[in-house]
Structure 1
Amino acid sequence: MSDVLVLDRAATLAALDPGRLMDAVADALVAVARDRASAPPRTAALAPAGLLGAMPGYVPGLGLAAKLVSVFRDPDRPGRSSHRGVVVLFDPEDGSPLAVLDAEPITAWRTAASATHSALALAGPGPVVVVGTGAQARAQVSLLAAIRPEVPVTVAGRDPEAARATAALHPEGRAAGDIESAVREAATVYCCTGATSPVVRRAWLAPGAHLSSVGGSHGPEIDTETVRDGDLFAEWPGAAATPPPSGAHELQGLPAGHRVTLLGSVLAGDAPGRRSPDSLTVFKSTGHAALDVAAAHVVHGTVTGGAR
């Protein structure tokens, strides 16, 4: 174990090269969609204020890894939650551990990469809004700043000061006065909160909007009307077919015929994306172990010189 790479939060974050991460996450999403990845549904031990989840996964070409992550509500900040833990990367040939990495930046940035791929593949042109001001929202804004610095981003949240601070992470960022007004003007909405009840309503979404919802670990982040009216996309089939904590709260009990398309199938050209300019597209992220493998692969390769 003496040669195992061990990185704290700052070092893990510094090694998450945005371009390489986007490429690796795309590869992982396609592998999931084409049933080439091995990753059982997330399991979790439930505590009074949160959960401890276990997420092992293997993706050909990216590696073998497992994440232990705790997701706990923050009692001092309603609507916020923490994601803390470790990701352990293993050699897929002999099973030896290669690295122990901080799970918080890996979770936030691989989720942001997945959400960004959904918008790049499904959204039309127009204003971009990020709802939320916590760790996930900051990662989302930071990733957009790295790969699309010329595209303005509006940040909306309940705390004006936090919204301004989050918006400042993007060279073209600005803070909105309130969530509803910002969403009503948006072509793309990234919903990045720890909410337990909907923070974005169907009535606020403009024709042709794209909504990427990555929060909702403890309850629905978007309302049933949005799910009902939207063309639905997800990272893996279990987002709708398995109950929380592995599946999404919002995708439980979908009506017959209301199908969920895998984002990786769209990225690979195996399935269509947006049906029409006025369609509402909804990407619901639950997280997936294959994405953690992708991010761990990037971190390890960046530090050791092995990343592509």
Structure 2
Amino acid sequence: MTDDVLFLSGDQVTGLLGLDAAIASQRAAFAALGADAADLPGKIMHPSRFDDSVVFAYVSRLSADTGAVAKIGSVNPGNAASGLPTVHAVITALDPVTGRLVAVMDGTPVTTLRTAAASAVAIDALSTPDSADLALLGSGTQALAHARAVARVREVKSVRVWSPTPRNRARAAERLAADLGIAVRAVGTAEEAVTGASLVAACTLSATPVVRGEWLAPGCTVVSVGSFEPGRHEVDAEVLRRAARSGAVVVDDPATAAAHAGPVVEALREGRLAYEDLVGLGAVLTGRSLPRSGPGDIVYYNSVGLGIQDAAAAWAVVEAARKAGL
């Protein structure tokens, strides 16, 4: 049964799925979602009763010629202290015609790359063309991936990095400066990182806001990927208020965000935001929504992660593996 099944390690996945391919896969994923041309069942996010971990399960299908993809994994916030990714997962891909198993791959690099790539797609669609100063909240695997991905769609000139541990943010700044060849500086507070930035990427697992609306410069685009369940709030209410008033609150999928994205769930519950105010990234990519009316608008993008992202990225990996003769 397994003679013709691809088994791909994390290193193999990383080698097969470069940033440009990952970004292309996410454009395809959200364009399909915006055109209502993909299968996207609801995802499972289940906080453990035993510790602070969260188990998740996604199932989706991108197109008729790519089969169903399933991902199961766990978010373990304590891993950050050990220098490990906080998300680990495994992905399976099935044949589009027979349903037979096609591939099993390490889902950790897929998750990292597709999340950062989707944020790059969002920034490319939502931010002003001259956005060049990036505030990076977080210093882990996902934060580093975000800085690299954003640099593929914008000519980033400087990065300010903040995370709670001075050693971690200093190390992240050093690595990014070497990778990107630009000025990267570790700063002592989140406010110092965000103030004056045209791009803000929040890549934390914080339950309390690390980005406050009063800090945002006119025209700023804020991306948040850590508010993936109702109890996590990387941004405060003022961020959403400013975005809803002048620009837009953009999400990966309105129905999913309304159930899972902490700041969005809270704003809907308190009546500060209506469901109709949520703009899907797919609607932006397909031209059905124009969230920015002027260069001074504040735009907020919240991603909780969707199975369709994994489906697009996983099949990009499978195709690359086939071309490589694996």
Same fold? TM cut 0.5 = yes
Q: Hey, what's the Cα distance between the residues in 1 that align with 2:183 and 2:170?
A: 8
The answer on 1:42 being equivalent to 2:48 is no
Residue of 90, 97, 120 corresponding to 2:124 = 120
Residue of 281, 296, 305 corresponding to 2:314 = 296
The answer on 1:131 being equivalent to 2:137 is yes
Higher mean C-alpha deviation, range 196-205 or range 270-279: 270-279
The answer on 1:175 being equivalent to 2:185 is yes
Is there any run of 5+ residues in structure 1 with no aligned partner, and where?
Answer: none
How far does the alpha carbon of each residue in 1:4-51 deviate from its partner, in whole angstroms, 9 at most, with x for none?
111121111111122222111111101112221112111134313212
Give the equivalent residue in structure 2 for 1:64: 68
Instruction: Quote how far apart the aligned CAs of 1:267 are.
Output: 1.3
Give the equivalent residue in structure 2 for 1:161: 167
Q: Hey, what's the Cα distance between the residues in 2 that align with 1:223 and 1:108?
A: 25
Give the equivalent residue in structure 2 for 1:87: 91
Structure 1 216/93 Cα, relative in aligned 2: closer, same or farther at 3 Å?
Answer: same
The answer on 1:273 being equivalent to 2:309 is no
The answer on 1:53 being equivalent to 2:56 is yes
Q: Hey, what's the Cα distance between the residues in 2 that align with 1:108 and 1:21?
A: 10
How far does the alpha carbon of each residue in 1:53-75 deviate from its partner, in whole angstroms, 9 at most, with x for none?
11000011554211001112207
Instruction: Quote how far apart the aligned CAs of 1:224 are.
Output: 1.3
What's the % identity of the aligned pairs? 28
Q: Which amino acid aligns with 1:202?
A: G
Query: Contact 2:45/2:57 (CA < 8 Å) preserved in 1?
Result: yes
Query: Contact 1:189/1:212 (CA < 8 Å) preserved in 2?
Result: yes
Residue of 218, 227, 233 corresponding to 1:220 = 233
Instruction: Quote how far apart the aligned CAs of 1:163 are.
Output: 2.3
Residue of 202, 205, 209 corresponding to 2:216 = 205
Give the match's secondary structure for 1:165.
Answer: helix
How far does the alpha carbon of each residue in 1:138-186 deviate from its partner, in whole angstroms, 9 at most, with x for none?
2112324556576433322223332233232322251232321120020
Q: Hey, what's the Cα distance between the residues in 2 that align with 1:214 and 1:84?
A: 16
The answer on 1:251 being equivalent to 2:264 is yes
Give the equivalent residue in structure 2 for 1:236: 253
Q: Which structure has more helix as a fraction of its residues?
A: 2
Higher mean C-alpha deviation, range 45-54 or range 185-194: 45-54
Query: Contact 1:149/1:172 (CA < 8 Å) preserved in 2?
Result: no
Query: Contact 1:234/1:260 (CA < 8 Å) preserved in 2?
Result: yes
Query: Contact 1:130/1:155 (CA < 8 Å) preserved in 2?
Result: yes
Q: Hey, what's the Cα distance between the residues in 2 that align with 1:146 and 1:187?
A: 16
TM-score normalised over the length of structure 1: 0.90
Q: Hey, what's the Cα distance between the residues in 2 that align with 1:142 and 1:93?
A: 37
Q: Hey, what's the Cα distance between the residues in 1 that align with 2:302 and 2:67?
A: 25
Question: RMSD of the alignment, in Å?
Answer: 2.3
Q: Hey, what's the Cα distance between the residues in 1 that align with 2:135 and 2:66?
A: 32
Is there any run of 5+ residues in structure 2 with no aligned partner, and where?
Answer: none
Query: Contact 2:46/2:55 (CA < 8 Å) preserved in 1?
Result: yes
Instruction: Quote how far apart the aligned CAs of 1:269 are.
Output: 1.5
Give the match's secondary structure for 1:37.
Answer: coil
Query: Contact 1:121/1:273 (CA < 8 Å) preserved in 2?
Result: no
Higher mean C-alpha deviation, range 181-190 or range 116-125: 116-125
Structure 1 229/239 Cα, relative in aligned 2: closer, same or farther at 3 Å?
Answer: farther
Q: Hey, what's the Cα distance between the residues in 2 that align with 1:200 and 1:24?
A: 29
Q: Which amino acid aligns with 1:10?
A: D
Query: Contact 2:135/2:194 (CA < 8 Å) preserved in 1?
Result: yes
Instruction: Quote how far apart the aligned CAs of 1:130 are.
Output: 1.6
Query: Contact 2:79/2:86 (CA < 8 Å) preserved in 1?
Result: no
